[in-house]
Structure 1
Amino acid sequence: MNIHIEGPIIDRKSSAICESILRSLPDWFGIEEAVMDYIHKAAENPAIIAWDGDTAVGFLVIHHHNPYSAEIFVMGVIPEYHLRGVGRALVQKAEEMLQKAGVEYLQVKTLAATHPDPGYAKTRNFYQAVGFRPLEVLPQIWDERNPCIIMVKALKPEAI
């Protein structure tokens, strides 16, 4: 395994990669309307891609809210590459990019612990392992059956 991280890029290539990887993760991305929204927005926002040789194995899309905060809008790693450091490398690259831009806070939204899904328990554990902390549960942002938790991480922007 020889992982190379590319980005940020903003183009249709990232949208196609996003679709391919999201389709390999139906346990996390099973709502077609949401998948199509992720795919569409991947072409309009900065994306970071993880490659193993010529194969895209992971991606992360950033959405800037304002000069001080950004969000991991969507992220995915194909199942064969879970627990191999790919997700951690994607988040690290995003943090470096955002720190250089002076961004102070990074957030991510995921399924809250009040939902029993074991896959999302792993997702929350991953984000905590890379430094995110729970901020707030918003049970109705998506719908009552899919309660949202916002997790945040303070970034230390580079001196300008």
Structure 2
Amino acid sequence: MKLSNIELPGPFYDKAEVCESILRALPQWFKKETALIQYLTEMERLPTLLAVVDNECVGFITFKQHNEYAAELYIMGVHPEYHRQGIGRALVNRVESILRQQSIEYWQVKTLASSHSDTFYAQTRAFYFSMGFRPLEVFTQLWGEDNPCMLMVKRL
């Protein structure tokens, strides 16, 4: 497998349609239909990069800029057949390069906190740690008591 490109889709590219199939292939993370639909809706208006292998989109990352200093990794997905092959890392690195060019200082991501026993999100947190993100705070009211939200940050 060779990652052939990370690209911004053109103006006539339906990001949500392409990325929906990836999200649906990841039910361990994206099983709530209302949340999935919300992600797809937001994705249409936010910058999204696609990871392409052999002319097929196998991963994506969507981010949002909150202000002149901070941006957020809003959602990312890599098709399970391509996990652990460097695609997620390449996507994060590419966005960080873009953000640095815009003089963004802080990069954040929200994920399920370690106090929750979900093993799939334990993998997610391990990935973010490996990318240099560090936990800042846990919010129990943002997603509800049963889904504590950990805010992780990285100084660019």
- TM-score band w.r.t. shorter chain: over 0.9
Structure with greater proportional strand content: 1
Q: Match of 1:107, as an amino acid?
A: Q
Which residue of the partner structure matches residue 61 of structure 2?
A: 60
Which residue of the partner structure matches residue 158 of structure 1?
A: none
1:100-135 CA-partner distances (Å, limit 9, x unpaired): 011110000000001000000000000000110000
Which residue of the partner structure matches residue 69 of structure 1?
A: 70
SS in 2 for 1:94: helix
Which residue of the partner structure matches residue 2 of structure 2?
A: 2
Instruction: Within 5 Å, give how 1:4-83 maps onto structure 2.
Output: 4-7=5-8, 13-83=14-84
Q: Report the alpha carbon displacement of residue 18 of structure 1 after superposing the two structures with TM.
A: 2.0
1:15-65 CA-partner distances (Å, limit 9, x unpaired): 212211111100000111110010011110000110111111110001110
SS in 2 for 1:131: coil
With 8-17 and 72-81 compared, the bigger mean Cα shift is at 8-17
Q: Match of 1:140, as an amino acid?
A: Q
Q: Match of 1:67, as an amino acid?
A: E
Instruction: Within 5 Å, give how 1:74-113 maps onto structure 2.
Output: 74-113=75-114
Q: Separation in 2 of the partners of 1:137 and 1:104?
A: 21
Change (3 A) 1:91 1:62: same
Change (3 A) 1:5 1:48: same
**Structure 1: where are the runs of 5+ without partners?**
156-160
Q: Separation in 2 of the partners of 1:139 and 1:116?
A: 15
Change (3 A) 1:10 1:101: farther
> Pairwise CA RMSD of aligned residues?
1.3
